[in-house]
Chains A and B, each alone.
Chain A
């Protein structure tokens, strides 16, 4: 009997230890059972010379609210979810500019701006609605970029899940209180670490060199013409800044021009007496930092041999007028020559080209156009652009508003024809003559599918420079493309100007939980407690009798009565 009892006791002990082990193991299970999980994109966080801008926090764990809250309500522990279609600029200004406390902001962007969404591309909604939305979003983006926001701000795209959640939140807020226990509210949770500074962000410049025809008699260096475009963007949501027009159109134009001239230069009989230098520069939004560093790194003789440089900036959404921006006065002989060449070709192609002059202020660090970096090193340069006025810092740098829908391929094709023809006439000495080298039916025609392919690719690739690594696929792709069209390609890695500091964490996942309120839990506890008490009393009464129930309340029970 005794050994059997000992065995039983061992069995019991092992049973309890197994239970404890199960408890401990199960405690380490990660909880991840949200109702909905949505991809969200964070507002950019950066410093200019130590002054903070953008959203300074990433982690989020608050209840959700909509715009229909009661006026004067305390929103410091609420995430306000705002669809951009119903944006109320006054609310946003009040809360952001006046630094009112808020738990967080979530902006819902229309699917139209989602470059991942295949169906969204190429669907043109009503034009005037698009225009209004476009203007509102531009204003919003500018406001967000220049504000210092101490709470997390995220962007998401409208889809069925989040629309349902928003409808529920609106309903709850309209009633005035969170509704019944089961629809007590929604909780938005983004678990993200503290954003860290990006150490030494690199900017990468890619240059391609097409040498001209050097005959035996030429002792000196051939003159060079440079065609430059900056390829990076900057926007409120770095993961969404695809910049189709600024400057995707410029990149595409540069690649197509390189392709056309490589065809011409491949045959020594048609090779011109000018070298061609193609430059894809980075650091555009930061006062064309990359262009400056690239020019400084060029060999001085090469730099002095540059006849002139054409910079391409936003040539994708114009109708019938382009502008050439210069920093040298229009009376200058070189400028006159260049402008005449361009305007002749433009006239033949059926649109206008205007000349705009903006003086450089050497003491002002602000560089509004790319050609100003050339001019500061005394190289003649001009920028071809659809924009009339020079953009301010961080303006028109390809934010989330600049999507594929707003770019017109025909405009890019016309710009390419303009630049290519003008260049060719200058290189081959046919100024003033009515010759079409790149006519539509020749083998040198501008290839619309090539343009469309590259434009689509660029419209799907966010290109904010600090977040592009040295071997980023896009940089490699651009390098390879230039290698196909030019003889010699150099890639230059530089550090971004120390004035700008960026922080990481651009994408996150938002978990949306439907939670019950505390009062519900307490109520449930009360109900369960009373159920157990009722059950206890019922069982005592039925098995032991009513007297036993009353005897339980007479404490302490007198033992003498029991044993007797």
Chain B
């Protein structure tokens, strides 16, 4: 059995080595016991945010079939999608003075959010993958997608904020959110592969598949509605995300299993 942790080892080693390199850039007077302690908290939050991705890769058969290439390609597609979304948001969205929930703006944001779905479609269908089964393809794509999302949105705040002396729970909550996001991305990728890659699906299940995909795709709008309009705080929003992601994962697993039965 090939050591399954080779790819995740690489990732971890890269993270740790870059942290150590950047330690060398810190000025002399900050090299105290306290500095090591604040790096400790950063390390804790980092393993909560990025650990599950590595664990997922190594624990499931993905590592055996060496699907790292697929994940990396999916991550790149995510970065491209994020860029396109940024440009669209900058062009079409007006900057609002207050923090209230404007339905028209939110609708626009949701529409732009569907570019995500388009990106996922591109990653699932257009990229040439080696001979991997559909089962593993959607997992690899979902994993790469979620990892790129975490790195883009959570790494910089973590690096700048978690190393400070001041302690807040924010970064732990962000890590839990990253976990929920991973589950959601994989479920979305599963539903996406069901929609676009599987040709013969039971008739009755098709609307359910599309409905679930729609819910998962509009999760960002739902969370922003909760935060702005209903005034929920960060811990409550993260709890909601976690709960929904588990529910959605369960539903998409059942749907996937149901669609798998007739073809086999």
Contact = CB atoms under 8 A, between A and B. Distances in A.
Contact of A11 (B40, B56, B76, B166): B76
Given A532-B55, A535-B59, A23 B167 contact: no
A515 interface: yes
A19 B10 CA distance: 14
B34 interface: yes
Nearest to A28: B25
Interface stretch (B46-54, B81-89, B213-221, B254-262): B46-54
A431 B22 CA distance: 84
Nearest to B40: A521
Contacts of A145: none
A34 B165 CA distance: 8
B107 to A, nearest CB: 33
A179 B23 CA distance: 31
A514 B19 CA distance: 24
Given A24-B22, A34-B166, A61-B32, A535 B52 contact: yes
Contacts of A182: 167, 169
Given A33-B166, A516-B41, A562-B1, A24 B21 contact: yes
A516 B48 CA distance: 18
Nearest to A15: B76
B55 A516 contact: no
B61 interface: yes
A35 B160 contact: no
Given A27-B22, A528-B44, A532-B51, A187 B165 contact: yes
B59 A539 contact: yes
A516 B41 CA distance: 9
B18 A20 contact: yes
Contacts of A544: 60-61
Given A15-B76, A24-B25, A518-B37, A31 B163 contact: yes
Interface string B173-207: 00000000000000000000000000000000000
Nearest to B72: A12
A544 B72 CA distance: 24
A23 B44 contact: no
Given A521-B40, A543-B61, A544-B61, A27 B26 contact: yes
B165 A26 contact: no
B122 to A, nearest CB: 16
A84 interface: no
B18 A513 contact: no
Interface string B1-29: 10000000000001000110111011001
A515 B163 CA distance: 11
Interface in A15-44: 15-16, 19-20, 22-24, 26-29, 31, 33-35
Contacts of B161: 33
A531 B166 CA distance: 25
B165 A189 contact: yes
Contacts of A24: 21-22, 25
A132 to B, nearest CB: 38
Interface string A507-541: 00000011110100100110010011001111110
B166 A514 contact: yes
Interface residues of B, number: 41
A27 B20 CA distance: 10
Contacts of B26: 27
A557 interface: yes
Contacts of B165: 31, 34, 187, 189, 513, 515
A110 interface: no
Nearest to B35: A31
A255 B203 CA distance: 100
Q: Considering residues A11, A61, A536, which has the most beta carbons from chain B within 10 angstroms of its beta carbon?
A: A536
Given A516-B167, A521-B40, A528 B51 contact: yes
Contacts of A178: none
Contacts of A540: 59-60
A contacts with B: majority SS? helix
A123 B1 CA distance: 82
Contact of A23 (B18, B43, B47, B163): B18
B58 interface: yes
A120 interface: no
Contacts of A19: 18, 151
Q: Considering residues B37, B48, B55, B72, which has the most beta carbons from chain A within 10 angstroms of its beta carbon?
A: B55
A156 B48 CA distance: 40
B235 interface: no
A35 B41 contact: no
B22 A23 contact: yes
A519 B164 CA distance: 18
Contacts of A20: 18
A223 interface: no
B211 interface: no
A284 B76 CA distance: 74
A531 B163 CA distance: 23
A184 interface: yes
Contacts of B52: 532, 535
Contacts of A535: 52, 55-56, 59
B156 interface: yes
Contacts of B48: 528, 531
Interface string B52-82: 1001101111000000000010001000000
A12 B69 CA distance: 10
Nearest to B19: A23
A531 B165 CA distance: 25
Contact of A514 (B25, B163, B167): B167
Interface of A: 11-12, 15-16, 19-20, 22-24, 26-29, 31, 33-35, 61, 182, 184, 187, 189, 191, 513-516, 518, 521, 524-525, 528, 531-532, 535-540, 543-544, 551, 557, 559, 562
Closest 8 CB pairs of A and B: A27-B22, A539-B59, A513-B165, A516-B167, A23-B18, A33-B164, A543-B60, A521-B40
Given A23-B21, A24-B22, A536-B58, 18 more contacts: A19-B151, A24-B25, A27-B22, A27-B26, A34-B165, A61-B32, A515-B165, A518-B37, A518-B40, A521-B41, A524-B41, A524-B172, A532-B47, A536-B55, A536-B59, A543-B61, A544-B61, A557-B1
26 contacts: A11-B76, A12-B72, A19-B18, A26-B156, A26-B159, A27-B26, A27-B159, A28-B25, A31-B160, A31-B164, A31-B165, A33-B161, A35-B166, A187-B165, A513-B166, A513-B167, A528-B44, A532-B55, A536-B59, A537-B59, A539-B59, A540-B60, A543-B61, A544-B61, A559-B1, A562-B1
Interface of B: 1, 14, 18-19, 21-23, 25-26, 29, 32, 34, 37, 40-41, 43-44, 47-48, 51-52, 55-56, 58-61, 72, 76, 151, 156, 159-161, 163-167, 169, 172
